[in-house]
Amino acid sequence: MSSSLKTCLFSASERLLLEAHPLPLWIVDAECFAIAFANPAASRLYGYSVPLMERSNFLDFFSEYHRFTFIERLSGEINECGTFSESFCHHNNMGEQMAVELHLSTILLNNKKYYQVTAIDQTDKIHFRELMKEENNRYKTFIEQSVAGIFCKELHIPIEITASARDMVAHLDQHSYISECNAAMEAMWIRDMGTEDKSFSLSGLLKMDAEGTESFIQRFIDNDFKLQNAELHDKDAQGNTRYYLTNLIGIVQNGYLIRIWGSQRDVTQRRQIEENNSLLAHLVEETSDILVAADMEYRPLTWNKAAEKISGIPATQILGRQLKEFIQLEYKSGTYDEVREIIKQNGEWTGEASFTRPCDQKKITLIITYKQLRCNEKALGLLVTATDITERINAESRIRESEARFNEMADAAPVMIWMTDENNKITYLNEKWLDFTGKDIIAFNSEGWRSLVHPDDLVPSLNKYIAAFESRTPVVMVYRLLNYKGEYRWIQDTGMPRFLNEQTFVGYIGSVVDIEEQKQTEEKLRYQATVLENVSDIIITTDNNYIIKAWNKAAEDHYGIPEKTAKGVRVNTAMPALFQRVSFELFNETLVKFGSWNGEITIELPNGNTRYFHFTVKKIFHDQNKLGYVYVGRDITDRKEIENKLQKSEKFYRTLISDSLDGIILLDGNGNISFSSPSIKNVLGFDAEEVIGLNGFEFVHPDDIAWAMESFQREISENPEIKYIVIRLRKKNDEWVWCMVRGHNLLRNPYINSIVIYFHDDSLRKQAADALKESEKRFRALIKDLQIGVMMQNAEGKTILCNKALTDIFEVKEEDLIGKEIWKVYSDVVCEDGKNIAVVNRPTFKVLQTGKQVKDFVMGVWQPHKKERIWLLISAEPLLNENGEVLHILCSVANITERKKQEKKLLADGMRHQKQLTQATLDGQEKERREIGKELHDNIGQQLTTIKLFLDLAKSTANETTLEMVNMALKGVGDAINEIRAMSRSLLPHTLSDLGLVESICELTDSLSRAQLIRIDFNYEDFEEINIPENQKLTLFRIVQEQLNNIAKHAEATNISVTLRSTIQSVLLEIIDDGKGFDKKTVKKGLGFTNIRNRAELFGGKKEIVSNPGEGCYLKVSMPVVFTPASTLHNSIN
């Protein structure tokens, strides 16, 4: 696009905005798709230069298939706002395919229609979709490979979250299904249920009976539809007890539960281990031998009952203290220091020792064993076992038993035990430690304690232990330890230094207790305390004397008494409203007798409002000791108000039913009447009491009783096919009346337990319906054999009736049209000028909106299956009700496709003939021009030249009197010769055939510039004339000549721009002047513009003129390159 045309189409600011647009952007001619403007972003994306794009056609970027699709979608789907968006496949200058999303909008520039097209590169987005698909596959793989059973239970009918647990269980069993489950879940189900049926009922999933399932779901509801690590147990198919940890989370939307995600993990093995550990702990505590854990300073960390009995020292006194503070051990095979040294060197020592028991001064002899517990070659503590061998007879036997029990109990201890030597190297880990961590002492010393401690707890725990070890003091650490499952659990690690009798440090011994449940309990207690403080219920506790001990925020708000004031006050003083309806004595008597009391009270709030509360009072026990009472008051004001409204509503509806025009009866499963509304008298004349106890079918006409009983049975089986039936019922005067009867199955409703039957007198509607059926039958018979298409639409625009002629026109079946809106069935509809017809302008839609008839409307409907357009002549007539509203539309449709084809053929023949006449006329004009030019040059020009020679001869003999006259004659003859030569060249431009079109136009513009003093710029850089036929060159030359003459005569212009461009398929000529311009609406078109249009149309081209007063004139002529020899046209005319 030339810079002058860009200036004509856009202002400078608009052009800058378009060029700076971040997305690829084109301005495309709406008629021929020629690119009028392309911005730099388009050039960067596609790799073509901007000038090359602006000489190209927009369709060149498409493949053949997408080019056809683009044109088809554009003609059929551009919406009423003139916009269009869709994705297509383009190619760049390297031939690479690109996925682009095109956004097209219609714009007007200088009263001409253009498309503004922007493109978004979607190639990377498609690649991103592939990546997302791969990510989804990885997620599915994770689910399938999970050890835990994972499932999703989808509710195809959601349930309100306010439903009761019982209703929710029943609803889940009936209206939910398993939409997802992994292989682990399927395997667990088959193993436990002994079947491959994967129906996954709720009771089966929860491993509970009906009562247990309901209780579990109630917990699920109370916990805001979330449950974590809920333990369940059940017998599997082999009769073995199995334990499960179940997690559930409900997905709630808009107050409805729509699906449940869950997981189950079999923890039977862990549960068995915990039970075994509990048993072992009991055994250790009840054993008859001393089993003590001590630190490296020989301070006991544990002290079992046997140690208390044998030593006479209670555990509460000795734990954490030096043993020598209470007794002095004497070793048989060495001194105190020697034993400690042996323990230090060997990590253990076994031998005989004795001491004097402080309580009775009895000498006790023991076989005692010290064993260091080590970690990373460091002693952590001591495990001490001892057997009382005071009775010398059993000395040897007791020694063997003590050793055996030590080994057994140390490994079976309920806590993890570790020992280190004096260098802080682990020397012992019991079986509980190995079971918890999965690492034996070799692996532990290799990898270290640090690898098992949670990173957040490592530094503080390590610093604390090192400080204690260096100072030889006990240490207690709480941190998270990694178990064999890869899970971190909270533990309490207690370490004690171990010393020999001579106070030689031999390391540490420690015990590790799993306190994960304790942590969770603490967290739960903190949570419960927060909940109690923030719940809306009043919660108060008192002691056994009814003195208030706790008074939550809700109590403060409702009673207006701060907690500090309420505490220490008797409950009947702080809460007088509680004892307005019952005396304090009766209240106390009820609590003592039954352990609880409940009742409703009314509280006057400080702001003057009245609230209703339901209070429950219960005893509080701890270890079977009564601590006091808890008072829970729930605000039931809203419920009270609803109850009052319900009472009023019930009175209203009872009155309404008694005066209703509908009769209402309740039937049991056998059809017997158990209830009748008083309104039955309005319909059948019976009093309500007269029909109770009778069978409802006694009132049905004999001809209708089979239909009535069948419908009744379908309603009982909850499988009704219709909503109502119309039958005859017997009145009290034995007359029969047509009634519309409806049934509603409420047999499962515990409050009604009946089939509810509604009926009303339907005689008038039945008569009208029968008359309408007869009228419709006659109408259908009338239109059946009509040769034109007829259809009827209802007030919603849906087709309710059509004849065979209509289905033949559209070549469809009747069911393809019935019940559908015709403008949605056929969306591609145009008028006779080819423009798309909006839905609001189509005949039947107009009738619906205006209520007025539409006659003889012609439109073309595209039929995709035939790939052609059929032309229809449509008339639509509204059928109105008494209020003037449209009830139906009666529409006639005639197929005029053949008539349109004949008209189009006649028009095409006429245009072809007109083109032939025009070409003949132009050829005649050119011939006449050549003859006149030749005559002027060869005849008149020669005669004038002869006259000039005679005058030159006469000049040589002329006297002074005649010389001036001769000179004037010579000048006039010379001017005439020059004028005739110029006319001859314009009529017969010899340079066109000799030099070509460009040189001919250059000569033409040069002569005009010299004669008229007009500056003419001729731009032909993008023009190649080698492929343009001669007759088309002549046409272009004549158009340029005609327009330049027009400008010279009328425009008063000082500057003219002539641009000639060409592509492989087309030629574009643009002429712009800065003259005075004109108004196309008021200026009468002259012969010059008519000649230009005729010459352009002769070659299938178009002419466009843009001009306004004071703004000059812009002429654009475009035509395809078509080689049509003149001889061919002459032959066709002849």
CATH code for position 561: 3.30.450.20
The SS3 of residue 678 is coil
- Window from 5-14, 293-302, 356-365, 743-752 with minimum mean pLDDT: 5-14
703 pLDDT band (50/70/90 cuts)? very high
Structure tokens at 625: 């000791």
Residue 832: inside a domain: yes
pLDDT value for 400: 53
Residue 170 burial (CB < 10 Å; 0-12/13-18/19+)? Answer: middle
Over residues 383-393, the pLDDT tens digits come to 888 888 877 54
What's the whole-number mean pLDDT along residues 406-431? Answer: 77
pLDDT value for 775: 65
Over residues 64-107, the pLDDT tens digits come to 777 777 877 776 656 555 677 888 888 888 878 888 888 888 88
Residue 1110: inside a domain: yes
Clarify whether residues 1089 and 1118 are in a common domain: yes
Q: Give me the number of domains the chain comprises.
A: 7
CB 380, CB 418: distance < 8 Å: yes
pLDDT value for 1083: 72
Q: Which one has a higher pLDDT value, 703 or 534?
A: 703
Residue 985: inside a domain: no
Over residues 222-233, the pLDDT tens digits come to 988 888 888 877
CB 246, CB 376: distance < 8 Å: no
CA angle 187/191/197 to nearest 5° reads: 75
Residue 989: inside a domain: no
Residue 926: inside a domain: no
Clarify whether residues 761 and 790 are in a common domain: no
pLDDT value for 983: 63
* Residues near 821 by beta carbon (within 8 Å), at least 6 away in sequence: 796, 797, 798, 799
CA angle 122/124/127 to nearest 5° reads: 110
Kindly report the CATH number assigned to the domain that includes residue 1036: 3.30.565.10
pLDDT at 394 over 70: no
Of 1126, 909, 1108, the closest CA to residue 1033 belongs to 1126
pLDDT at 196 over 60: no
Q: Which one has a higher pLDDT value, 50 or 284?
A: 50
Q: Which one has a higher pLDDT value, 898 or 935?
A: 898
For β-strands 1055-1062 and 1015-1019, DSSP reports them as: parallel
Question: Which of 71, 94, 127 corresponds to the end of one domain?
Answer: 127
Question: Which of 519, 543, 558 corresponds to the end of one domain?
Answer: 519
What's the whole-number mean pLDDT along residues 898-915? Answer: 69
Tokens 């509680």, located at residue: 578
Over residues 655-692, the pLDDT tens digits come to 666 666 788 899 998 999 988 888 888 888 898 889 89
pLDDT value for 497: 92
pLDDT value for 1124: 43
What's the whole-number mean pLDDT along residues 333-345? Answer: 85
Tokens 């990173």, located at residue: 455
pLDDT value for 406: 47
479 pLDDT band (50/70/90 cuts)? very high
Ramachandran bin of 988, using left for φ above 0, alpha for ψ from -120 to 50, beta for the remaining angles: beta
Burial string for 718-733 (b: 16+ CB within 10 Å, else e) reads eebeeeebebbbbbee
E strand map for 110-240: 112-121, 149-160, 176-181, 226-235
Tokens 């002629």, located at residue: 805
The pairs formed by 875-880 with CB atoms below 8 angstroms and a separation of 24 or more are 875/843, 876/843, 876/844, 876/846, 876/847, 877/847, 877/853, 878/847, 878/848, 878/851, 878/852, 878/853, 880/851
pLDDT at 1057 over 90: yes
The highest-confidence range among 514-528, 796-810, 975-989, by mean pLDDT, is 796-810
What's the whole-number mean pLDDT along residues 306-324? Answer: 86
CA gap 19, 6 in Å, rounded:
12
- Window from 523-527, 815-819, 1091-1095, 1126-1130 with minimum mean pLDDT: 1126-1130
Inter-CA distances, 1022 with 409, 787, 891, 1034, 1073, Å: 103, 60, 57, 19, 20
643 pLDDT band (50/70/90 cuts)? confident
Clarify whether residues 864 and 829 are in a common domain: yes
Over residues 6-28, the pLDDT tens digits come to 556 777 777 888 888 888 999 99
The partner residues of 220 in beta bridges, in order of sequence, read none
Residue 436: inside a domain: yes
pTM of the model: 0.26
pLDDT value for 419: 86
Clarify whether residues 410 and 319 are in a common domain: yes
CB 611, CB 618: distance < 8 Å: no
Of 962, 1037, 933, the closest CA to residue 995 belongs to 1037
Over residues 870-886, the pLDDT tens digits come to 888 888 888 888 788 88
pLDDT value for 1073: 93
Residue 387: inside a domain: yes
pLDDT at 1126 over 60: no
398 pLDDT band (50/70/90 cuts)? very low
Give the residue numbers spanning the domain of 185.
146-266
Clarify whether residues 285 and 416 are in a common domain: yes
Clarify whether residues 614 and 673 are in a common domain: no
Clarify whether residues 665 and 636 are in a common domain: no
Of 723, 731, 737, the closest CA to residue 690 belongs to 731
Clarify whether residues 433 and 288 are in a common domain: yes
Q: At 770, which amino acid appears? A: D
Tell me the backbone φ, ψ of residue 498, rounded to 5 degrees. Answer: -115, 135
Clarify whether residues 341 and 461 are in a common domain: yes
Burial string for 269-307 (b: 16+ CB within 10 Å, else e) reads eebeeeeebeebbebbeebebbbbbbbbbbbbbbbbebb
1133 pLDDT band (50/70/90 cuts)? very low
- Window from 244-248, 358-362, 439-443, 1122-1126 with minimum mean pLDDT: 1122-1126
pLDDT at 140 over 70: no
Over residues 824-845, the pLDDT tens digits come to 777 788 888 788 888 888 888 8
Inter-CA distances, 68 with 59, 563, 921, Å: 9, 82, 39
Clarify whether residues 441 and 551 are in a common domain: no
Average pLDDT score over the chain = 80
Question: Which of 862, 878, 895 corresponds to the end of one domain?
Answer: 895
CA gap 1045, 1004 in Å, rounded:
10
CA gap 85, 102 in Å, rounded:
6
1127 pLDDT band (50/70/90 cuts)? very low
Residue 1107: inside a domain: yes
What's the whole-number mean pLDDT along residues 491-514? Answer: 86
What's the whole-number mean pLDDT along residues 847-873? Answer: 85
pLDDT at 1130 over 50: no
The partner residues of 540 in beta bridges, in order of sequence, read 551, 631
Clarify whether residues 712 and 797 are in a common domain: no
Structure tokens at 908: 């095409």
CB 805, CB 891: distance < 8 Å: no
The DSSP code sequence of 249-288 is EEEEETTEEEEEEEEEEE-HHHHHHHHHHHHHHHHHHH-S
- Window from 90-99, 106-115, 928-937 with minimum mean pLDDT: 928-937
CA gap 945, 974 in Å, rounded:
8
pLDDT value for 294: 87
Q: Which one has a higher pLDDT value, 512 or 409?
A: 512
pLDDT value for 475: 92
| Angle at which helices 165-175 and 210-222 cross, to 10° | 110
Clarify whether residues 315 and 418 are in a common domain: yes
Q: At 238, which amino acid appears? A: Q
Tell me the backbone φ, ψ of residue 691, rounded to 5 degrees. Answer: -100, -15
986 pLDDT band (50/70/90 cuts)? low
* Residues near 1079 by beta carbon (within 8 Å), at least 6 away in sequence: 1107, 1108, 1109
1115 pLDDT band (50/70/90 cuts)? very high
The SS3 of residue 747 is coil
